[in-house]
Amino acid sequence: MKIPAEQLVLDLPHMPALGAEDFLVSTSNAAAAAVVDRWPDWPLSALMVVAPPHAGKSHLGNVWRLKSDARIVGAAALNEADVASIAPGAALLVEDLHAGLADERVLFHLLNLARERKLSVLLTSRIPPGELTVQLPDLRSRLRALPLVTIARPDETLLKAVLVKQFGDRQLVVEPHTIGYLALRMEQSMEAAATLVAALDKAAMASHRRVTRALAADVLARHSATS
């Protein structure tokens, strides 16, 4: 029995690289990247990064975590034990404030403690502090007073760089005109870039073809039809 070529392609995992050397900078994220580079010389002990989904917020947070040796906790799971156990001068990454807070008083306590113990606290969210659902007036005021940097959706320049990097990680050589074709037509997000490169890699192996503009058009059309 002859097995179709598509069934011979193993769906091997490809781990995303989230180190500083893998964080590509363009106008869409340059301000946020500069703030992370500036640490620990921050104007205040805490600041917030706001970005839409899949724009690189988690990657940037991980770059700062590696640089500062920060602990990481989700805002929805932050509790008093997390705050009480932070040593003076330590760093904490609190992710996804938009997902809600386990206890608003705990975050307020953390921000107060950050000044007293010279902590470094990086908060991330998909929406700005003024739009967060926060009931505690003191916390609402404190969040709005924090320094704020934003990450926009990746622009064409960044998408091209990300695509080149992702193809390179998979040892795929792709012509610049194909990269440009993809960057102009794909969804503007880091996750979309990773998904698209994985799909093209799989399609190229299954059809024993190079990643060309024609193959890119086929894969984009299939993705558009299923989205």
Q: Is the pTM for the entire model greater than 0.75?
A: yes
Higher pLDDT, 106 or 22: 106
What was the pLDDT predicted at 54? 83
Whether the pLDDT of residue 5 is over 80: the answer is no
Report whether pLDDT(11) > 50. no
Of the pLDDT bands very low, low, confident and very high (cuts 50, 70, 90), residue 191 is confident
Half-sphere exposure of 127 (CA within 13 A, CB side): 9
Kindly report the number of other CB atoms within 10 A of residue 221's CB atom: 11
The Cα–Cα gap between 219 and 210 comes to 13
Residue 190: its pLDDT value, please?
A: 86
> Quick one: average pLDDT of 17-23?
62
Residue 38, phi-psi category: left (phi > 0), alpha (psi -120 to 50), beta (remainder): alpha
For the segment 90-104, the average pLDDT, to the nearest whole number, is 95
Region 110-137: what's the mean pLDDT? 95
Give backbone dihedrals phi and psi of 149, rounded to 5 degrees, phi first.
-125, 150
197-218 residue pLDDT tens: 999 999 999 988 899 999 999 9
Res 7 pLDDT > 50: no
For the cut 70, the answer to whether the pLDDT of residue 184 exceeds it is yes
Q: What is the pLDDT of residues 21-80, one digit of tens each?
A: 678 888 889 999 998 889 999 989 999 999 998 888 988 999 999 999 999 999 999 999
pLDDT of residue 9: 32
DSSP 96: -
Domains of the chain are 29-150 (3.40.50.300), 154-226 (1.10.8.60)
Using the 8-state DSSP alphabet, how is residue 24 labeled?
-
Section 154-172 average pLDDT:
91
DSSP-based three-state secondary structure for 146: coil
Q: How confident is the model at residue 224 (pLDDT cuts 50, 70, 90)?
A: confident
pLDDT at 88 over 50: yes
- Give the pLDDT confidence score for residue 227 in this predicted structure: 59
Task: Identify the pLDDT of residue 225.
Answer: 67
Res. 8: pLDDT tops 90: no
